[in-house]
Amino acid sequence: MIPDPDGFIGTLLAIEGITDARAVLNGPNGCRGYPAYFSDRHFPREDSLDRSTFLELFYFGQPRIPCTYLDCDDYVMGATEKLREILPLVAAKGDAFLAVVNSPGASLIGDDLGRFLTGAGLDHCCMAFPTAAYSRPFAEGFDEAVAAVLAWLKLNRLPRAKDRVNLLGLSMYQKHWQGNIAELTRLLDLLGLFVVAVPGAGSSVAEIRESTTAACNIVVFPEYATKTAAFYGQEFGIPSVVSPDGAPVGFAATESWIRAVAGATGRDPAPALAEIRKQRTHAYHQIARHHHEAGYPKGATFAVSGDASFVLPLTVWLHDYLGMVPVAVSCRDGGAMDAVGRLKEFLSENNLSDAYGKDPAGTRPDIFFGNELTGMDLYLAGRCRYSVGLFNRVTSEPEFVQKALLGGTGALVILETIFHAVRRFPEV
């Protein structure tokens, strides 16, 4: 079983991650169900609760990703007639931007989507994705789609401001993505920096068009933003910064991330570092109360599977800060190779090389970090004692308080989760 969605889903969710954009799926209705439900669940819009406004043809009662519902005849005769019918209906909803995305099967029909949009007079507000990153990693499809949208939008060429930045590489697929953005925005504010846009993760078309005013792009997860960052650099001369220690996961990696951003933007890191020290102190006081009690995680085993830029700092932090032992560590395809190399080096230095690439089902870790579906499967099979999701899936529990996994706040959330977990198996 491969639980991760592919680049095709990444393309759809990149478009749906823009607040006033809408993906239109040219394909059978079966290809639409998961991404339509997912985007509505993890990035709902104000009109999503009123299902009566989406009962017409092509929506089928769901507010996201209308679909041409291709059938066998369409694969022979083409999808032009259904596209001619669906696009004016979708455009009437008032979104600032539309994108027609071919399903894998529809891409074989050979319809010229670009010519059709021009002939229909919709090429000013709608772009075409004749193909997507079928069967390639989710992050690649997401990155390519965001870069393609940026190119199509013809971004404003405005003067750049020294105190403005963009956040790249964030997606609704990542667990607590909105809380992560809020936490990083808060830290950047302490550096005197204003976030203009987060393309593909909650920003509007207008904000994305203004993103060219940024002096620097901060790439949080390179897996999701390599081509996006390259586009900004080539077209607008906007440099990018990537922290050498990966994403800001845990206290040390967050401090490294702050210093990297401060160095690239010429800012004083002291106020943000002081905030992390305050959160470190709070964590120490909480941990000290449990140090000699049952339920302290030292020696507990863990497995982690995810993006290399997240797996690296999480593995280092749990091992060095809490004394936990990684028994199965793996990175998703399409990962940041620098992070993969550093991760393997860290494991080797600590005589843990055997952990890389191992199947967590065979190691029976105390805690599994990774895909929620994999974690549930391991837990129900008795092959892990607790699971922590790093990626959103349809199994997510309702959340009423915004959380984060990045920054100092994210470190506290992860610590709280671990301590709550290990108290359920006190013999550790």
Q: What are the tens digits of pLDDT across the range 371-399?
A: 988 999 999 999 999 999 998 876 567 78
Cβ neighbours for 280, distance < 8 A, ≥ 6 positions apart: 251, 408
- Over its C-alpha atoms, the chain yields an Rg (Å, rounded) of 22
**Total residues belonging to the chain:** 428
CA distance 172 to 139: 11
Bigger pLDDT: 289 vs 14? 14
Pair of tokens at residue 259: 């210093």
CA distance 45 to 139: 23
Residue % of the chain over a pLDDT of 70? 94
Q: What is the DSSP letter of 397?
A: P
Is 207's pLDDT higher than 70? yes
Q: What are the tens digits of pLDDT across the range 282-314?
A: 999 999 887 666 668 999 999 999 999 999 999
How confident is the model at residue 185, as a pLDDT?
Answer: 98
CA distance 87 to 165: 35
CA distance 173 to 16: 11
CA distance 416 to 428: 17
Please report the sign of the dihedral spanned by the C-alpha atoms of residue 10, residue 16, residue 22, residue 26.
positive
For residue 1, name the pLDDT band (cuts at 50, 70, 90): very low
Q: What is the DSSP letter of 338?
A: H
Q: What are the tens digits of pLDDT across the range 249-266?
A: 999 999 999 999 999 999
Please report the sign of the dihedral spanned by the C-alpha atoms of residue 259, residue 280, residue 194, residue 96.
positive
How confident is the model at residue 58, as a pLDDT?
Answer: 86
Q: Are 160 and 389 in contact (CB under 8 A)?
A: no
Pair of tokens at residue 169: 């590489």
CA distance 97 to 337: 34
How confident is the model at residue 386, as a pLDDT?
Answer: 95
For the chain, which domains are there? 7-136 (3.40.50.1980), 161-267 (3.40.50.1980), 277-422 (3.40.50.1980)
Cβ neighbours for 112, distance < 8 A, ≥ 6 positions apart: none
CA nearest neighbour of 214 among 249, 188, 175: 188
> What are the b/e assignments for 310-338, b being 16+ CB within 10 Å?
bbbbbbbbbbebbebbbbbbbbbebbbee
CA distance 256 to 194: 20
How far does Cα 128 stand from its chain's mean position?
Answer: 23
Q: Give the Cα-Cα-Cα angle 129, 130, 131 (nearest 5 degrees).
A: 90
